[in-house]
Structure 1
Amino acid sequence: MKSRTSITDLFDDAKYNNKYVKVCAPMVRYSKVQFRTLNEKARSSEFCTTVNDSPLIVQFAANNQDDFVDASKLVYPYADGIDLNCGCPQRWAMKDGYGCALLSKPEVIHDFVRGIRGSLPNNFSVSVKIRILKELKRTIDLCRQLEMCGVTFLTVHGRTPSQKSSEKIDTEALKEVIASVSVPVIANGGVKTLLDADRLHKEVNCDGVMAASAILANPTLFSGTSRTPHSCVKLWMDFKNEASEKITFQCYHHHLVFMLDKLLTKAQKNEFNSLSTFECVDEYVREHVLDSQDCVLDYEHRLGEFIECKFSDEITLKHSSKCRGCGKSTCYCICNVYDYDASDGAFFTSRVTNDSLDYMDSSLFDED
């Protein structure tokens, strides 16, 4: 078990210093340890961590208490807390009873929280991420009930489940929700710059601000930069070189696609999208992005030693089942993380193909 960060202390320290907690949102396929480390601070193939990877809260999508509690037990030795996703509005999640589908079943959410509080130590953080409901009173009632159940904090996305990420967030609703509870509340939605985060904090009086898609485009957003600096790109390359066996080409390439959005011309973006090897990507970045001085920068932070995560066979075997897409007992194929009915299976293959999808458009990534 690695050393822990007290999530409660993070909020207390920020409040004492008239500041707020800055949070990188959990993002499917993107929240890998290398990217988490870049922001300063399915099991086995999907979850890994290092001795420096803290504070770390692991978010799960679940539709029953048993799965949620057991999954939480698996990561307990390696994380500072867990979070229940009740904010994802995507079709595949709603269809299977995950994400926003749980907002209509508050009693189920309560059972999830109580299950953690009855199974793991109280100093282990448990939180819930929700969206604003059309009836604000229902949102406030839900948050108050979750507070009574023992959540450490709440994250509230300022849009309803039916709203698109391009629509404005409801700051008045956020303000009322935050004022209705005593636990810390992180506000989410519409944050593209540090100035946006500062404004949101001041307007709604939240305890923390979470950013998602904008963090992909600029991992240094919370430091106040307007675009990804060359030093951050170089650090991402260093992380890959430090533990090349721990990162896939898809992950490495896709993050650079987002980070280089404002650093490359349209023609260069199209060319970069078609690259298919680590070597080609690195050569292209060194030639078209990095200056000579970027290659000799001295960085204070490194990934740190990877922790060998050992998971209980009793729990993992209990939940082993066949994939609904490919029929295999152990599977990490695209059908488990995406809407396989609407996918041609090529969204995240070993090569980013040049089709109708503009991979340089970071707005494609929804903020949940």
Structure 2
Amino acid sequence: MSQEISLKDLFLQVKNKNEYLKVCAPMVRYSRVQFRTLVKNYGVDLCFTPMILADSFCQNSKARYNEFLTTDTDSPLIVQFAANNANDFLDASKLVHPYANGVDLNCGCPQRWAMKDGYGCSLLSKPDIIQDLVLGVRNNLPSHFSVSVKIRILQDIKKTIELCHQLQSCGVDFITVHGRTPSQKSGEKVNVDALREVCASVQVPIIVNGGVKTLKDADDLYSAVKCNGVMAASGLLTNPALFDGSTKTPQTCIKLWMDLKNKSNDHITFQCYHHHLVFMLEKILTKPERQEFNCLSTFESVDEYLKMNILNDHTTPDYEHSLGNFIKCEFDEGITSQHGKKCRGCGKSTCYCICNRYDCDKTDGKYFSSFLEESDSLDYMETNMFAETL
């Protein structure tokens, strides 16, 4: 992948236009390369991968295959990792360095499993560890490869600003700030005043996140807090054309999604294809229609339903951003061999082993899907997962 795109230049370009960077959030199971390509056709400037556990990514080839897929047009791209020690974060960053424009450290996930294992929001009370993680990447990878951190606001706004200043001194390229505290739920109000104060107090670019369901929401948030970028999560799932001004998913978007599926061959699962359409059609189908659509179980049945009930215009969609060619990633064996195949079935949040048995040779590598069935909802991404279909 080309790394010619500089994140600093990207921020500078939008600043010179008196605009803001439009960003697609890291969403577990949903921020895949096909969806990243889709939203870029509707105004998104920067995309993140799903959050990936750094230690598992280093340890297990199946995790790398399942959690990181990219193409030669998938840029600019930020890979987000959850990590709790500098060694895992640095090594995971080295592995993806040839295929991405930067890495992001997740310090915003408030889920119990993440907090228990020292990931996500648990790091907000450990700025020294965050500093070690950031400096490890900053001091060992080229300067054009960005390193950033995603946080939530703290109850004490002064501590939030102090943390941002510490991150700034470590050399982060930008910071993403979610406008709710770790204890708040996704439906609660975003603290606009706190976000404004953070943006006014920090020199590095700030992307703000939380509560963005429409382009007007994004514009209003940008105007209110004077940030450098606005990130959307569930709003983009429901309407990938959000940043293009559409109030609901347009037919062209659904057609593009079908076409991206067709061009993906075996690089997309039915679950991924279908779940995205469930979100996209939320404002289009009636409740009985949604129930019917949600029960479809094959690519063919879904496509037939769309052609018969949704799509009136059968012209071929135009691309500004194409999917491109899939890249067969070659990961440094010198790094992966040091981490080995260590089973995570010892009380940590995630385990590769089938039914929590500790036989790593039988794992499918899909560590999120099995664990999250018994976990709390992915509230930090502002999404409602269809647990019954997992």
Establish whether TM, by shorter chain, passes 0.5.
Answer: yes
The whole-number CA distance in structure 2 between the counterparts of 1:328 and 1:86 is 31
Which amino acid in the other structure matches residue 335 of structure 2? I
1:332 CA drift (Å): 4.5
Residue of structure 1 equivalent to 2:331: 311
Of 328, 333, 343, the match for 2:359:
328
Report Cα offsets for 1:78-124 as digits up to 9, x if no partner: 10010000001111111111100100100000001100011101111
Report Cα offsets for 1:223-247 as digits up to 9, x if no partner: 0000000110010000111122110
1:347-358, aligned counterparts within 5 Å? none
Residue of structure 1 equivalent to 2:92: 71
1:191 CA drift (Å): 0.5
User: Given the alignment of the two structures, is residue 219 of structure 1 paired with residue 240 of structure 2, yes or no?
Assistant: yes
TM-score for both structures, normalised by structure 2: 0.86
User: Given the alignment of the two structures, is residue 110 of structure 1 paired with residue 131 of structure 2, yes or no?
Assistant: yes
In the alignment, is the contact (CA less than 8 A) between 1:231 and 1:294 conserved in 2? no
RMSD: 2.0
User: Given the alignment of the two structures, is residue 275 of structure 1 paired with residue 306 of structure 2, yes or no?
Assistant: no
1:119-130, aligned counterparts within 5 Å? 119-130=140-151
SS in structure 2 at match of 1:2: coil
Which amino acid in the other structure matches residue 140 of structure 2? S
Of 180, 192, 199, the match for 2:213:
192
Which amino acid in the other structure matches residue 65 of structure 1? A
Structure 1: which 5+ runs fail to align?
Answer: 348-361
1:19-168, aligned counterparts within 5 Å? 19-40=19-40, 42-168=63-189
The whole-number CA distance in structure 2 between the counterparts of 1:144 and 1:294 is 53
Of 243, 256, 262, the match for 2:277:
256
Residue of structure 2 equivalent to 1:242: 263
Which amino acid in the other structure matches residue 316 of structure 1? T
1:341 CA drift (Å): 7.8
1:249 CA drift (Å): 0.7
Deviating more after overlay: 93-102 vs 310-319:
310-319
Which amino acid in the other structure matches residue 294 of structure 1? H
What is the total number of aligned residue pairs between the two structures?
A: 349
Report Cα offsets for 1:322-342 as digits up to 9, x if no partner: 142422336445554664582
* Percentage identity across paired residues of the two chains: 60
The whole-number CA distance in structure 2 between the counterparts of 1:161 and 1:338 is 24
User: Given the alignment of the two structures, is residue 206 of structure 1 paired with residue 234 of structure 2, yes or no?
Assistant: no
The whole-number CA distance in structure 1 between the counterparts of 2:224 and 2:239 is 24
1:3 CA drift (Å): 3.9
TM-score for both structures, normalised by structure 1: 0.90
The whole-number CA distance in structure 1 between the counterparts of 2:116 and 2:198 is 27
- Summarize the Cα distance change of 1:332–1:171 in structure 2 as closer, same or farther, 3 Å threshold: farther
In the alignment, is the contact (CA less than 8 A) between 2:2 and 2:75 conserved in 1? no
